[in-house]
A and B are shown apart, each in its own frame.
Chain A
Amino acid sequence: MAENILSVQDLHTSFTTDHGEVMAVNGVTFNLEEGKTLGIVGESGSGKSVTAYSIMQILEKNGSIRSGKVLFRGEDITKWPESKMRDFRGKKCSIIFQDPMTSLNPVFTIGWQLEEAIKLHTDRKGKAAEERAIEMLKLVGVNEPEKRIHQYPFEFSGGMRQRVMIAMALACEPDILIADEPTTALDVTIQAQILELMKDLQKKMGMAIIIVTHDLGVIAQMADEIIVMYGGRVCERGTAEDIFYRPAHEYTKGLLRSIPSVDKIGQRLVPISGTPINLLNLPKGCAFCPRCDAAMKICLEQVPPETRTVDGHLASCWMAVKKEAEAGMINFTGDSGRSLKADDTAGAGSGKD
């Protein structure tokens, strides 16, 4: 087994707002192996982006890491001073954002912005930095890079800007690349180009990738390991095959049922009922319980522990615990024998969000 380059342990991140404390991330744990791709999938408000921002420590002013550790090669970077973090960002770990339109500065040339990162993190100066910028643009497939470094972001199309962002992120050869919804703002044909490019660069440069997305199709294509998040918690984790072919958590199952696909033509989609969770007011038990069709009494009261499913991956669902109990592995007495069917108005949603 390869070495863990990054290890997030029981991470809690919250934001202070006028309406109270928004618990965005509630105990997320995962490991990232060297050179591998981890996919974080979830819907809006599931805490997937905040997890990524917490690793980089680029949270909004009102947000902070409450507890937990982020270990980079064994060192807890949440304890690092800001000066050391600046060195971490860009050099050890880079992030690319969803919107390539707004993440580039419109008043500086592409070359200037690329060179800024290179000058800051390496000892290349002047001509050498420019050469590196050109080399990076060539690597990400921008034509005529010598000419294009003198152009401004508005002269680039969306796909080209995202390529520039990737070039910028990889200019200092980081060990980890975090991609936060890297292709959500792009068209499918451009998306295919960018995903292919990311895979290609991973082969060439060997960095580990964390890809954060709501798109199950993108995840299926990119990730070796997947964690599924809901309400700031990890509900299921496993290999891509585990998650797509043998989902154990009711939320994962629901997600997979609700996406249209070619094999399901003519059939009705099976949506997840109810509305997304309100992070200001997390339920006491399982976060998904108000929308879950299989909810039991214990789901309302206790957060489910991470349980190994029959085929060996991990799910945080009382149903998985129950299945294991039925298989005779542990003792489980949580079920009241009554199935609590959640309706549209139950729990957190109720019209307000």
Chain B
Amino acid sequence: MEEKFTPDSQYLVQAHDMKMYFPIKTGWFHSKPLKAVDGVSFDIRPGETLGLVGESGCGKTTVGRTLLRLYNPTGGEVYFDGKKVDAKSIGGLRKDMQMVFQDPYSSLNPRMTVEDIIGEPLDVHKLYTSRQDRRDKILHLMELVGLNAEHATRYAHEFSGGQRQRIGIARALATNPRFIVCDEAVSALDVSIQAQVINMFEDLQKQLGVAYLFIAHDLLVVHHISKRIAVMYLGRMVETADSNELNSNPIHPYTQSLLSAVPYPDPKQAKERKRIILEGDVPSPLNMPSGCPFRTRCRYATDECKAKMPPLTDRGGGHMVACWNK
């Protein structure tokens, strides 16, 4: 039995050895666990942004959803503001932990007006004293995200992608949360609109002091908005560091190739840069390689990597790396 985990009061959100397995049927009576998240630990300070990057299928979305207990985790603990998040306490904590979804087209109910969409969390948590108070709060939220008051009676389909995402953000902000999970919140938007929404996220953080878990696959965007970045591969965290440090000094071979694969919008750099092209594809999470999950595509893989999963160790200044290679 390992020692009991005690939450640290300087952090707003702490996840310790979080696990989320999905049972996949392999026959009538048999099933196999799909290890979407397999022992992930991280912490987020109040008002801070942690970026979470990784390729599709690495479990980054599952981390966000499990954190908010939209899934029932298979193992591990999550603490919010020192309180343990479990089936009992989550009801009271939802108000403080909200989520913005990726797809602004399917995450808004087409039959509800903007006013009702933003007002729903207020209704659920009974956060107003009168009809007028409710309306005032909604209009204030709309102003906060840059929507006109006259849009309140319109339906979601009348808006463009960027504006819909603003509605989704206003809804998340309605309960005055201290923590928001942004799951690919800007990925579906055009670059010019994406910049508007990124700026808004930054402004809101300054104004309201919310902390974000910013999940995205676009490294440039994540680097821009986050103070620290965690890199995931096949359900595990492989590297966590300050975003500038991660960018200038990536240690894990996966992070190195991920960074080198990012197409920089600069033709000279694009020609000069040495790219580390990874061989092959991500292995199926149903059929995980033994030891380090990355070893099948790693240039430096040794027998040690095959035998044992490397633990996250501090390489100095909070730069955590899970790699046997020193």
Q: Which residues of A contact B (CB under 8 A)?
A: 43-44, 157, 159-160, 187-193, 195-196, 214-221, 240-241, 244, 254-262, 264-265, 268-273, 275-276, 291, 344-345, 349, 351-353
Contacts and interface: CB of A to CB of B under 8 A. Distances in A.
A159 B270 contact: no
A259 B191 contact: yes
B249 interface: no
A188 B198 contact: no
Contact of A268 (B202, B244, B264): B202
21 contacts: A43-B192, A188-B262, A189-B55, A190-B55, A192-B261, A195-B263, A217-B220, A218-B263, A220-B267, A221-B267, A255-B192, A258-B192, A260-B195, A260-B198, A260-B220, A260-B224, A269-B199, A276-B192, A276-B193, A351-B154, A353-B161
B115 to A, nearest CB: 14
B265 A256 contact: yes
Contacts of A218: 263
Contact of A244 (B196, B243, B265): B265
B160 A240 contact: no
Contact of A255 (B151, B191, B224, B263): B191
B220 A261 contact: yes
Interface stretch (B3-11, B175-183, B274-282): B274-282
A262 B55 contact: no
A153 to B, nearest CB: 15
B192 A254 contact: yes
B247 A189 contact: no
A271 B261 contact: no
A188 B43 CA distance: 26
Contacts of A256: 265
Given A260-B221, A276-B160, A351-B159, A217 B265 contact: yes
- Looking at chain B's contact residues, the main secondary structure is helix
Interface in B183-227: 190-196, 198-199, 202, 217, 219-221, 223-225
A131 B158 CA distance: 53
A353 B192 CA distance: 16
Q: Which 9 A-B pairs have the closest CB atoms?
A: A217-B263, A271-B195, A258-B195, A260-B224, A353-B160, A272-B192, A187-B55, A192-B261, A240-B267
B267 A187 contact: no
B257 interface: yes
B265 A220 contact: yes
A353 B159 CA distance: 6
B266 A244 contact: yes
Contacts of A259: 191, 195, 220, 265
Contacts of B194: 258, 271
Contacts of B195: 257-260, 269-272
A191 B160 contact: no
Interface residues of B, number: 50
A191 B270 CA distance: 14
A254 B190 CA distance: 12
B108 to A, nearest CB: 14
Interface string B136-148: 0000000000101
B162 interface: yes
Contacts of B220: 217, 259-262
Contacts of A214: 190-191
B41 to A, nearest CB: 24
Contacts of A43: 190-192
A220 B264 contact: yes
Contact of A188 (B55, B244, B267, B270): B55
Given A160-B281, A260-B223, A261-B220, A215 B263 contact: yes
A159 B281 contact: yes
B247 A190 contact: no
A218 B322 CA distance: 30
Nearest to B270: A221
A352 B161 CA distance: 10
Contact of B277 (A192, A241, A261, A264): A192
> Which interface residue of A191, A241, A255, A351 has the most chain B CB atoms within 10 A?
A351
B148 A345 contact: yes
Interface in B274-292: 275, 277-278, 281-282
Interface in B38-86: 55-56
Contacts of B270: 217, 220-221
A279 B3 CA distance: 62
B224 A265 contact: yes
A319 B253 CA distance: 47
